[in-house]
Amino acid sequence: MKINPEIFKAYDIRGTYPDQVNAEIFYAIGRSLVMQTGAKKVVIGHDMRTSSGELETTLVDGLIDQGAEVIRIGLVSTPMLYYAAWKLESDAAAIITASHNPAEYNGLKMCWKGTQPIGEGSGMEEIKKLVLGENFEEVENKGVVKEFDIKEDYFNHVLKFVEKTGSKKKVVFDFGNGMGIAEKPIFEKIKELGLIDPIYLYDNYDGSFPHHEANPLKTDTLKDLQEKVLSENADLGVAFDGDADRVGFVDELGQVVPMDYPIAFLAEETLKENPGGLVLVDLRSSNAVSEYIQSLGGKTHNCRVGHSLIKKQMREEGAIFAGELSGHYFFEENQKAEMASLAVVKILNLLNQTGKSFSQLTAVLRKYFHSGEINSEVKDKQAVFDQLKKKYADGKLNELDGVRIDFEDWWFNVRASNTEPKIRLNLEARTKDIMKEKVAEVLAIIRG
């Protein structure tokens, strides 16, 4: 069997179908997952991509041939998979999905017991070795397959966080033809409570993503949502990514809300139940986010990029909430896993509590000037890091993830991408002029 080792990524398995990921490879992954984790019970779900059904079938075959009991939960979002893994007390879980990637891709996200992701440094290398070696242990007794519908229990879990008072909000949801559609019954129930008047965009499953890539981190994918918010005089716009573990927002003025801003407000909601708690903030986020959380009595630590790394740090440091610039929001009340719909519910709660519009709410954070993420292809990443440390030796150095250096009026972070052959620059300053000047200065070093 020919296998491209590049399909084993830092956080998941991913490649084009059927040349890089296919039924034969997923069978081998199923057997390897059981051998690596020792799992007796494994929960399996899948997304709406056309190849997902076939890949699920052979993945399950591999799991049961290695002796595991498999609980199939069907067509689900990634947060539903995490919730099922928690509630059904499985030893491992996996979902066939390529998230926001284009139609020709598919992949697999896996986790240990307790929703801790299987990734680089937490089992992925071992699974890769087993798959490439195709050296599987034979077992006497095959496993069995059961089916379980987790959806109703999941919906009720999210809905228990809804505060049932406040004025009705008009909300536009852009599901981008992806797995956010599976979350729709939550918002229909909130509608029945008289709390929202929902408008839905692209709410039919289509793995070809005919309208736009389901990736709210890319602002050009939010144009339809922005236009609909304005034309409908809506209070809020919500965009899910392909597997619905990330979410982005548009305010009532049609402005894209920077994806680090919700970290501040979701932390605010969580701190009400956990005063003085620790919040992990993506080190690329605006300083305004940590300052806001600290002003509420919360503690903040920076965290690295990557959901598996963040969940691990949450467990190690006892954090009550964490947020990543890509729109992953991690909740203590959800076993430290992402739950995009819970993020939406908590933002709606906050809008009702404060009586403010979303643009008024976020105004307190719009105090610095951020470059956004700027990508560069370089041959020698370490040489770039060394040059930056030498050039800016008088700043405060942080090497948690790449190189972050802070000065009184500005800071920057340069880190290697875990998914592409690039390095990424994020820079923030107190004035627009300083931001532009320093971006040009740092890029000159990066790009030589």
Residue 179 CA to residue 185 CA, distance in Å, equals 12
CB 172 within 8 A of CB 196: no
CB 182 within 8 A of CB 77: yes
φ and ψ at residue 275, rounded to 5 degrees: -55, 135
**325 in helix, strand or coil?**
coil
Quote the Cα angle for 369-420-440, to 5°.
Answer: 35
CB 398 within 8 A of CB 283: yes
Tell me the CA distances in angstroms from 361 to 340, 353, 386, one per residue in order. Answer: 20, 11, 40
Which positions are catalytic? 99
CB 425 within 8 A of CB 373: yes
Strand partners, 425: 374, 414
CB 208 within 8 A of CB 241: no
Residue 246 CA to residue 308 CA, distance in Å, equals 14
